[in-house]
Every structure is written in structure tokens, then in C-alpha cells.
Structure 1
Amino acid sequence: MSDKNSAGKRSARERLQMERDRQKARDKRRRTLIVSAAVVGVLGLAAVVGLIAANTGDKSDSSGSGPVAAPSGATGEEQLAIPAGATDAPSTLTIWEDFRCPACAQFENAVRDTIHELIDSGQIKAEYRLVTIIDGNMGGSGSLNAANAAACAQDAGKFLPYHDVLYQNQPAETDDAFARDEKLFELAAKVPGLDTPAFRSCVSEGKHDSWVNKSNEAFLNGDFRGTPTVLLNGESIFPTKGKEQISVENLKKWVAEANKGKKPGTASPSPAAPSPSPAER
């Protein structure tokens, strides 16, 4: 009886473990489907946004006026890109975004953790390029104002956390809430150390407005369909790369393929140096 009882207990434990393993597998598939659905759900919106951008984008309205003040640490041609990650990372992820764009928020909220993981592990460096397509299509100035505020956050060395907060708190596309400085200050308070007199002055004065307009002009002059536009080493991966749709797993796979045989980056960019406001001098 003892042997039978022992065997019975082992059998029960094995059945329990098998059921746990099956449940874990089901949970993993469910999480993958949820994330994939969130990303794939962007595709229809992206197509619509792209079509609107192609039909109504007016280059003459986006050139801006006055001197172009690039945010601290901006890189690339005409200093129109905000970098993140090791400068010697083997691959570059370029993201053209509009803070009022619903498809951009869906993309960011679905793959943000993966992008951060790839940046932190030195697999990629990111280049964020900001545009104002929704302002042109819907009216208002929230795209411009939020992009300027994000550039001000870059001056303070806090672009990425503020960028993420803006997308996590994006208003409805028809609600131009980001046009109000107070809304941007309210969200800046969610990023430790950002809501300072220097940041508020930078936002209120529209210090980087002309730079944002210059970036938008570069987007309109490019061969892009709409926002978000996401490129891996210059090749479009959103909404698809070849015949494969973007997903968390595919993004990791594409980066791994691009980086095969290459070492992760380790060189840190120079930290952004915030400019003191008169009140802080």
C-alpha cells in the first residue's frame, strides 16, 4: 500500500505540474496575443493617419520662423533627432511621432518596454523625430506644444520619461489639451525633477518651436506615409517588415537578425546640460 500511495502521490504531483505548465503556456499565449493585438490594432489607424498626412500636409505651413534652437544633445542632419541609448549600439531605431497621434500612442504603449529593454541592453540606439501632423489635420497646437515641451525635457536630460508620460496620458485626438501649458506642467510633475522654473520657461516661451517645425518639414519632405513611421537601420518596420507584421516578438527578432555577430553598444552619450533660467542664475 505504501508503494501504491507513493506512486499515487507522484502521479498527482505530476498531473498538477503538467496542468500548471499548460496554464503557464496559455497565459503566455494570451499575453502575446494581447500585446500583438494592441500593436496590430494600430495598423488601420496608421493607414488612415498616413492617408490624411499625404493629402493635407502643407509644407509651406511647417517651415516656422526665427532661429532654430535645437534641444541639448540633438543629433543627425540639422540636429533634428533626439537620441537615446549607447552611441555605438549596432542598430538604430528611428521613430517619427506626433504626441497627438492615437496610432503613435498605441504603438508606444504596446512596445515601449521592449524598446527600453533593447536600448538598455545596448542592442539599439533610438532616434526620436517629432512632427505636428495632427495640428495640421485637426487644428490646434497641441502637437507643436507637446513636442516643444519634450525638447525642453531633453534639455533637462529627461526626454524619455516625459515622452512616455505624454503618451500614457494622451487626450482624445479631438481634444487639444496639450496646447495648454498647464497640462504639460501637470504631466511634468510626474517626472521627478523635471517641473522646474527652467522647464516652465522653456515651454512657455516656445523655445524649440522652430526646431519642431523644422523636424516636421523634414518629415513632409520625406517619403513617409504617416505617423508613426518606424525604421530599423533605415528600413521601414511599421506596420510591416516584408510580409511580417510588427509585434513585440518580431521586433526582438528583427533586431537580433540585424545585430548578428555584433557586440552590444556601451558608449553613453554626453548628458544633456539644462540651461538655467534667469531665476536660477
Structure 2
Amino acid sequence: MSNDENDRILELEEQKRILLRKKQELLDRIEKYKNLNKDDNDDDEEDEDESWKGLIYNNSFPKPNDLSNENSKLFKIDGNSNIEDELLSKLDTLPILNKDLRLKYLQRAYPFVDIKILDTSINDSKLQFEISFKNKHTNNSVQFEMISEQNKITSFKVINSDNFSSCNLKNISSPNILLNLIELDRLEFKRHKFFQRLSNKISQKNQNINIEIIENNSCLKLNRLIFRNFPNENIKLDLYIYWNIQLDTTTNEINTDWFIKLNKNDQLLKNKIDLNVIWRKLIKEYGIEVGTEELIKICLFPT
């Protein structure tokens, strides 16, 4: 073995001794810190024990009277509570109870109606409210009374439906009817707009046709008088276009029915081919509005 190799081995052994010494120093320091932390924890536990002993022996726990005073500061949160007070005391994710805020968001969910609170009982178990529909052509409105106990609806009834002419609501007992009434009013609005558009189109094209909406807005009547010199006979044609919309209050289902009648000189005109069949085929071919216009041409302007 050369001298250089011997020198290298001696150098490495010296470095090894140095590293082992440093390692031992670090281990000693770690052990020292562990002992210091243990002593501190023991002191903290002793202080905590002393404080609890002081509470017990010095009777430092709250007295019953103190607890009653704290409870007296609490207040009930319900639908009539101020929204700020409710938010300050709210520690859960349940819906807000404030009825004004709930009514505001309920109104946003149903933009086609106005919801108005008429009366509430002292404990909010009984609620009377009115729903007014924004369809100015029907002006429908209904008043309801709802009674609830333990967050459950125990009674629901109509207290005034005089301003709702489409159907009889006297025997309604389910709150599910509300959504059906909203849909019923929307269908009546669509029917009125359809009759209105159809009337305007026909009137612009044919000045000698009389048009009116009859039978509680469920029928569009078109009348034409045909003058003939030979034979000396005038012909009166009346076309009735019906769109019935009814609410079955037993099942809460909305039923619609379309049909037409054609009278000649105030007598029902009976054809070999049913005009309703022709009408349905025209609607299938051209759509509801154009198909109905074509039907009017066939019935009131025969060749």
C-alpha cells in the first residue's frame, strides 16, 4: 500500500471521529430539551389543578340565579323577528324564518302572481293570504286560509273565490292546488292572446267579418253575411272556435278541449266530413295559427 493511500485512510478515520462526536452532542441536546418540556408541562398541569381546586373550594361556579339571569336575556326567533336579530343568533344552515324575506323570494319564484298576507294569528299557526293573478284579461284572485301545527299543514281551504270565474274552488282542501291555479291562469292568458292575434289577422284581411270573444273567453265567434241576388237568399255563416280549459278540483288536473262548430242561418251545418278532423290535419300541417286561418277560409269563404 502506498503512502498516499495510508494518508487517505487516516484522514477518513479522523473525519469519522469528528462526526461521531457531533452526533453525540446533538443527541445530548435533544434529550436536554425533552426534559425541559416535560418539566413545563408538569408545571402547567399543576397550575390547572390548582385553579380547579380554587373553583371548587371557593364556590366560584355560577349560581342558579346567575343562570336564570342569562336565560332571561335570550329571545325567541320566529317569522316575526327582525332579520338582523335572526342572523346574529343563527348558527345553522336551515332556511331563514323571517316571513317578509321568504315572501319576497317566493314572489320571485312566481312572477305572474301577487301574493299578499291578509291576516296571521298570534302564534302564526293560522295564515290567511290572497293570490292575485297578473293576467289583466281575467283578473282572477283567490283567498286561502292555512292552519299549521308542529310545522305541518293541518287545514287548508278557500275562503273567497268570487273573483275566480273559471272553476268552482269551494271544496279545495289541498295546498297543491296553488301551482295548478297558476298554470290555469297562464293557459287562459295564452288562449286570450291566441284569439286576439287571430282576430287581428282576419280583420285586416276581411273587413266584412264580425269577430267577438264569447262564453267566458272560451270561444271565438266569427260571423259573415253573404248577399246573393240569385237566388234571392242571404246566407249567414257563424263559425265557433272553442278552446275550453277546465280544472278538475278532485284530481287537480287541467283539461283542455278544442273543437269547432259551423252554423248556416242559425242551424248547425252537418257535413259528410267532420270539420274538426280537417282542422286537426291543418294544424298538423301548418301549425295552430296558420292552420286555423286556413280553416276559417274554408268555412266562411266557400267557393
Q: TM-score, normalised by structure 2?
A: 0.20
- Structure with greater contact order relative to length (CA < 8 Å, sep ≥ 6): 1
Q: Which structure has the larger Rg over C-alpha atoms?
A: 2
More strand by share: 2
Scaled by the length of structure 1, the TM-score of the pair is: 0.21
